[in-house]
Amino acid sequence: MQEPNKFDDAEHCTACGKKLERDEIGLHKKLVNRGSTRFLCKPCLAAKFRMSIEDCDHLIANFKAAGCSLFY
Ligand SMILES: [Zn+2]
């Protein structure tokens, strides 16, 4: 039997296997490492950094407002 939630690609969260949104990839790059090629989804990032989902949304909104090239 295959591991059900082991996605080793750039389109799924490496922790939970959720399909990633572009914003989540951008947020991961901002918070973790700009050169990352494997990403965490927003809930997993929030847990890792002890933030709420609302905090993450707020950060994404701020980065977008600042014209960050990782968000477009
Ligand atoms: Zn996740």
d(CA 72, CA 70): 7
d(CA 41, CA 49): 12
Is residue 30 within 8 A of residue 23, CB to CB? The reply is no
The pLDDT value recorded for residue 1 is 54
The pLDDT value recorded for residue 72 is 62
pLDDT tens, position by position, 23-52: 999 999 999 999 999 999 999 999 999 999
Regarding predicted confidence, which is higher, 3 or 65? 65
- Measure 57 CA to ligand 1 centroid, in angstroms: 15
The pLDDT value recorded for residue 6 is 67
Instruction: Give the domain ranges of the chain.
Output: 1-72
- Measure 39 CA to ligand 1 centroid, in angstroms: 8
- Measure 69 CA to ligand 1 centroid, in angstroms: 23
